A and B are shown apart, each in its own frame.
Chain A
Amino acid sequence: MSVQMHQKFSEILSIKGVVGVAMLSRSGRVVFQAAADTAAWQGIDALNLAPCENLQEADLFFEHLRLYVRPAGGGFFLVAMHPEAPAAMVRLNCDTLFSNPDGRKKPKKAGWFFKKRAAS
Chain B
Amino acid sequence: MPLPRHATTTRRVLIVDDNQEALFSLQEGMAKYGRHFEILIAGDGKVAVQKLSASSIDLIVTDMKMPRMDGLALLKHVQARYADIPVIIMSGFSTPEMERLARESGAAEFIEKPFKISYLHDRIVAILNQQADGGTLHKVTASMFLQLIEMEQRTCTLRLQSEATGQRGALFFHRGQLLDARVDELREEAAARKIFSWDEVSLSIQLSCPVTRGRIENDLQYILFEAMRQKDESRAPEDAGRSRQASPAPDTPSVTQVPVVLTETLRRALSGWHGVDRIYSDTAARDLLQCFNDTGRSLSAGKLAFAFVRCGDGGGRVLVPDGAQTAIALSTACPREKLFQELMRRLHGAFGENADERANAPKI
- CB pair B135–A110 under 8 Å, yes or no, is yes
The reply to whether the CB of A10 lies closer than 8 angstroms to some CB of chain B is no
- CB pair A56–B302 under 8 Å, yes or no, is no
- CB pair A65–B302 under 8 Å, yes or no, is yes
Residues in B neighbouring A23, C-beta threshold 8 A: none
- CB pair B287–A60 under 8 Å, yes or no, is no
Residue among B147, B343, B344 with most chain A CB within 10 A? B344
Main secondary structure of the interface of B (DSSP, over half): mixed
Closest CB of chain B to A118's CB: distance in Å? 8
Selected from A80, A83, A92, A113, the residue in CB contact (under 8 A) with B134 is A113
Interface residue count on the B side (C-beta < 8 Å) = 52
Given contacts A60-B292, A64-B301, A67-B299, contact A113 B306 (CB under 8 A): no
- CB pair B148–A89 under 8 Å, yes or no, is yes
- CB pair A62–B137 under 8 Å, yes or no, is no
> Given A56-B310, A62-B304, A107-B5, 19 more contacts at CB 8 Å?
A39-B300, A42-B300, A52-B288, A55-B310, A59-B307, A60-B296, A61-B343, A63-B351, A64-B300, A65-B302, A83-B344, A86-B152, A87-B337, A88-B337, A89-B148, A91-B144, A110-B135, A110-B205, A113-B205
Q: Which residues of A contact B (CB under 8 A)?
A: 39-44, 46-52, 54-65, 67, 80, 83, 86-89, 91-92, 95-96, 99-100, 105, 107-114, 117-118
Q: Which residues of B contact A (CB under 8 A)?
A: 4-5, 132, 134-141, 144-145, 147-148, 151-152, 154, 205, 207, 250, 287-288, 290-292, 294-296, 298-312, 316, 337, 340, 343-344, 347, 351, 358
